[in-house]
Chain A
Amino acid sequence: AQSVAQPEDQVNVAEGNPLTVKCTYSVSGNPYLFWYVQYPNRGLQFLLKYITGDNLVKGSYGFEAEFNKSQTSFHLKKPSALVSDSALYFCAVRDLSGTASKLTFGTGTRLQVTL
């Protein structure tokens, strides 16, 4: 079975500082990995994905994520946080070796960026 864990319910960071939102996954085979962001009263918006290739993936709004197969992690990062980055962030995984084709989402991490 595939699963994804976001160990932090909330991450607090000051504007201008680097931010990291953690995600670890569990799959039998190779994974597809995604990050989405949700602003209040809105649906989820796609940020970036790892399918294959370079372990460092660059996405929207200056976000990037590093795929680490040995640590089964896919942490979301940004060099300099903005107050407008404050939102709920979801990591999602799909196990390519599984028969089910659905995505599994993590529980979400709330990012709070303060001045």
Chain B
Amino acid sequence: KAGVTQTPRYLIKTRGQQVTLSCSPISGHRSVSWYQQTPGQGLQFLFEYFSETQRNKGNFPGRFSGRQFSNSRSEMNVSTLELGDSALYLCASSFRLAGGPDEQFFGPGTRLTVL
């Protein structure tokens, strides 16, 4: 069974630009969660989508948004990039909601660098 895939793996953008990251969950998984990982803040929850609906949202500004498609694939978008948005963005999928008893399966992440 293929794992969670994220594209692109590496991205370099400049301040003010916008970026879209993509995540394909494990086949059959309906929940997709996004996390931001930085050395200073650690792992921070961005949002979770389940059956195309946002179920939870973390404490991030409105510049961070996401969506989920009918095939469970998800995208997240960051508009008006700031230097502080440089991070590893991780996507995780699970069969049921992420807060339930199912473990999450993580993708390798997208390393975003904002110059």
Asked if A102 and B105 sit within 8 Å, CB to CB, the answer is no
Asked if B101 and A103 sit within 8 Å, CB to CB, the answer is no
Asked if B105 and A94 sit within 8 Å, CB to CB, the answer is no
Asked if B98 and A44 sit within 8 Å, CB to CB, the answer is no
Q: Does B81 contact A (CB under 8 A)?
A: no
| Residue in contact with B92 in the complex, picked from A44, A94, A100, CB distance below 8 Å | A44
Q: Does B58 contact A (CB under 8 A)?
A: yes
Task: Mark out the residues of chain A between 32 and 52 whose CB falls within 8 Å of any chain B CB in the assembled complex.
Answer: 32, 34, 36, 41-46, 49, 51
Q: Does B15 contact A (CB under 8 A)?
A: no
Asked if A32 and B90 sit within 8 Å, CB to CB, the answer is no
Asked if A43 and B106 sit within 8 Å, CB to CB, the answer is yes
Q: Does A107 contact B (CB under 8 A)?
A: yes
Q: Per-residue CB proximity of A92-108 to B under 8 Å, as 1/0? A: 00100000111111111
**Across-interface contacts of A101 in B (CB, < 8 A):** 48, 55-56, 97-100
CA distance A46 to B104 in the complex (A): 7
Q: Which residues of A contact B (CB under 8 A)?
A: 32, 34, 36, 41-46, 49, 51, 90, 94, 100-108
A-B contacts, 16 of them at CB < 8 A, read: A32-B99, A42-B108, A43-B92, A51-B101, A94-B100, A100-B99, A101-B56, A101-B98, A101-B100, A102-B48, A103-B45, A103-B104, A105-B42, A105-B45, A108-B42, A108-B43
- Sorted from nearest, which 7 A-B pairs have the closest CB atoms? A101-B99, A43-B106, A46-B103, A105-B43, A44-B106, A107-B42, A102-B56
